[in-house]
């Protein structure tokens, strides 16, 4: 028996182990019953909600797969388009190159045609010799390539001999200057080019200008055996533009 003090009085209570055991057992059963109810409630509600989530998950996965497939198709089309554009650019570049070659060939044929037309012109239209097909091309730096033909009319053609050379007229240090053949060839012992023909003869030579020299005109001079020297002058810039 225990005693409990309340205020100044005393309460006596009999100690009963069986009663305490019954109380604990009842509390345990109540807890187990509450746990059972929770489990049953979970079983009742979770399948429906879980099914909705699974269905939404499947739908999202299907959408992602569809988007991936569409992206793959678009990337494939893009690669094909890029490849087609590359092929088209290459084809256009090749066509442009062929067109430029054909235009160059046509220009050359026209120049040859004009050359022979002048060469076969009536005697009244041209007498003596003249320069035909003069071409001036840069070779890098102050070096240039010069091509030309010295010809005479077919109607009056006869075997001729002589020498031909080039000169350049221009400005250097605010002074007008005419460069001779030896200067252009950078060889003090350079000799004029010999020629011997009945109808025409072609020449191709390189010349080099001095530094800080501004060329204005290219002069072709020739001296036939037993005849007088002659020359033809051509504007430098016009020759470059037409080359």
What pLDDT is recorded for position 64? 77
So what's the pLDDT on residue 78? 84
Q: Is 214 within the bounds of a domain?
A: yes
Does residue 8 have a pLDDT over 60?
no
| Domain count of the fold of the chain | 1
Average of per-residue pLDDT across 38-46: 59
Total-model pTM: 0.53
How high is the pLDDT of residue 154? 65
Rounded to whole angstroms, the Cα distance separating 176 from 37 reads 118
Percentage of the chain exceeding pLDDT 70: 69
Most confident residue range from 60-64, 108-112, 117-121, 215-219: 215-219
Q: Which domain holds residue 132?
A: 120-242
Q: Is residue 135 included in any domain, yes or no?
A: yes
The answer to whether residue 140 sits within a structural domain is yes
| Closest by CA position to 121, among listed 83, 78, 153, 90 | 153
- pLDDT of 197 higher than 80: yes
Q: Which residue has the higher pLDDT, 79 or 44?
A: 79
- The reply to whether 193 falls in a domain is yes
Q: Is residue 61 part of a domain?
A: no
The residue ranges of DSSP E strands in the chain, in sequence order, are 2-6, 9-13, 129-140, 143-152, 160-172, 175-179, 193-197, 200-208, 214-224, 230-235
E-state strands within 71-117: none
Decide if 84 is inside a domain. Answer: no
For 72-94, how does the pLDDT look when each residue is reduced to its tens digit (9 = 90+)?
A: 888 888 888 888 778 878 877 88
Give the CATH number for residue 125. 2.60.40.150
Contact 194, 165 (CB under 8 A): no
Which tens digits make up the pLDDT trace of 145-171?
999 999 887 666 688 999 999 999 999
Position 232 in a domain: yes
Q: What is the mean pLDDT of residues 110-136?
A: 67
Q: Is residue 227 part of a domain?
A: yes
Helix (H, G, I), strand (E, B) or coil at 229: coil
């Amino acid at each position: 028996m225990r005693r409990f003090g309340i205020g100044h009085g005393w309460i006596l209570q009999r100690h009963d182990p069986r009663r305490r055991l019954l109380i604990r057992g009842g509390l345990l059963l109540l807890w187990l019953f509450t746990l059972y109810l929770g489990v049953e409630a979970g079983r009742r509600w979770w399948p429906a909600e879980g099914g909705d989530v699974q269905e939404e998950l499947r739908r999202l996965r299907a959408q992602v797969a569809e988007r991936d497939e569409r992206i793959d198709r678009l990337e494939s089309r893009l690669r094909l388009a890029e490849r087609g554009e590359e092929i088209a650019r290459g084809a256009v570049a090749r066509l442009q190159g062929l067109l430029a070659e054909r235009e160059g060939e046509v220009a050359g044929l026209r120049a040859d045609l004009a050359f022979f037309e002048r060469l076969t012109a009536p005697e009244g239209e041209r007498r003596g010799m003249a320069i035909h097909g003069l071409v001036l091309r840069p070779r890098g730096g102050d070096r240039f390539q010069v091509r030309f033909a010295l010809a005479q009319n077919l109607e009056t053609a006869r075997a001729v001999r002589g020498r031909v050379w080039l000169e350049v007229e221009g400005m250097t240090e605010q002074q007008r200057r005419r460069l001779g053949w030896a200067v252009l060839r950078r060889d003090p012992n350079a000799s004029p080019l010999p020629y011997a023909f009945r109808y025409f003869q072609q020449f191709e030579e390189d010349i080099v200008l001095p530094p800080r020299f501004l060329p204005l005109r290219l002069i072709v001079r020739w001296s036939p055996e037993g005849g007088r020297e002659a020359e033809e002058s051509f504007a430098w810039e016009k020759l470059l533009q037409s080359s």
